[in-house]
Amino acid sequence: AQTVTQSQPEMSVQEAETVTLSCTYDTSESDYYLFWYKQPPSRQMILVIRQEAYKQQNATENRFSVNFQKAAKSFSLKISDSQLGDAAMYFCAYRSAYSGNTPLVFGKGTRLSVIA
Amino acid sequence: NAGVTQTPKFQVLKTGQSMTLQCAQDMNHNSMYWYRQDPGMGLRLIYYSASEGTTDKGEVPNGYNVSRLNKREFSLRLESAAPSQTSVYFCASSVIPGHSTNTEAFFGQGTRLTVV
C-alpha cells in the first residue's frame, strides 16, 4: 500500500517570504498523480496544484510551485510571496493511475502560519 | 454548479444513536469516497465506491456502513455511534484515472460530528 509522509507538522513564514513544505511518498508504481490541497479554517478542501508522474516538468500555479523528484519520491510545495490568506493546513496526496478506481492517500498535514 | 453537497454540516449524537450522512455530486463522477479527519491523522479513507452498485472498505471501516444509491449519491451510516467516531467527515468524488486530466478528488464542505 502506498503511504504519504509529511514530516513537518507545523511551519511558519513571514509575509512576502518563501516557504517550502515537504512531502515524501512510498510506492512501487511508476504512473501516478500527486496533489497538494489547502484547508483553511473554513474546513473546505481546496486543490492547490497537481502533478502527473509521467511529466518531468514541475507544475506551477501562480505563486505555488512544486519540486517533483521522482527517483527520490519527493514532492515539495513552494509558496512564494506568502500572503496572510495562505495560512492553512496543507495536505499532500497520492493517487495511483493504474486501477479503475483508486482513492487518494493523504499525508497527515502541515499547518502553515503566516506572520505579518 | 454545486459540486459535492454534504448534509448535515454539524451534528451531535448520543452514544448508541444512529444517523446517516448524505452526499450528492452533480459532476457525473463515477467514484465517490468517505474520509474522516482527526487532529494529527490527516484524512483516512472509510469506504469508497468505484461506480454505482459497488463499494469497498478503506482504512477505517469499522462501525460504518455505506450505500451507493445511484451515480450521484453516496451515504454513510453510523448504526450505533461511539465517542471514537467524533470527527470531521468528508465526502468526495472523482473521475476514474485515464478518463480526464483532472484526476483530483472534489470535496464536500464536511460534517463535524460529535458523539457524547
Which of B25, B52, B59, B103 is most worth mutating to test chain A (most A CB atoms within 10 A of its CB)?
A: B103
Q: Answer whether A101 sits within 8 Å of B31, measured CB to CB.
A: yes
Q: Answer whether A101 sits within 8 Å of B51, measured CB to CB.
A: yes
What percent of chain B has a predicted confidence (pLDDT) above 90? 82
pLDDT, one tens digit per residue, over A65-115 is 999 999 999 999 999 999 999 999 999 999 998 766 689 999 999 999 999
Cell digits for A24? 515524501
Q: Which of A93, A103, A109 sits opposite B58 (nearest CB)?
A: A103
- What chain A residue is nearest to B103 in terms of C-alpha separation? A33
Q: Answer whether B42 sits within 8 Å of A106, measured CB to CB.
A: yes
Q: Answer whether A50 sits within 8 Å of B103, measured CB to CB.
A: yes
Give me the residue label for grid cell 509522509: A5
Q: What pLDDT, on the 0 to 100 scale, is given for residue B103?
A: 82
Which of A10, A29, A45, A95 is most worth mutating to test chain B (most B CB atoms within 10 A of its CB)?
A: A45
Q: What pLDDT, on the 0 to 100 scale, is given for residue B58?
A: 95
Q: Answer whether B97 sits within 8 Å of A33, measured CB to CB.
A: yes
Chain B contact set for A97 (CB, 8 A): 97-98, 103
Q: What pLDDT, on the 0 to 100 scale, is given for residue B1?
A: 63
Chain B contact set for A9 (CB, 8 A): 40
Contact (Cβ atoms closer than 8 angstroms) between residue B49 and residue B70? no
Q: What pLDDT, on the 0 to 100 scale, is given for residue A80?
A: 98
Which residues, 6 or more positions from B62, have their beta carbon under 8 angstroms from its beta carbon? none
Per-residue pLDDT at B43 exceeds 80: yes
Q: What pLDDT, on the 0 to 100 scale, is given for residue A41?
A: 93
Q: What pLDDT, on the 0 to 100 scale, is given for residue A32?
A: 92
Per-residue pLDDT at B35 exceeds 70: yes
Work out the pLDDT band at B101, boundaries 50, 70, 90: low
CB-CB neighbours of B3 under 10 Å: 13
Q: Answer whether A106 sits within 8 Å of B43, measured CB to CB.
A: yes
Work out the pLDDT band at A55, boundaries 50, 70, 90: confident
Name the residue among B7, B35, B6, B17 with its Cα closest to residue B114.
Answer: B17
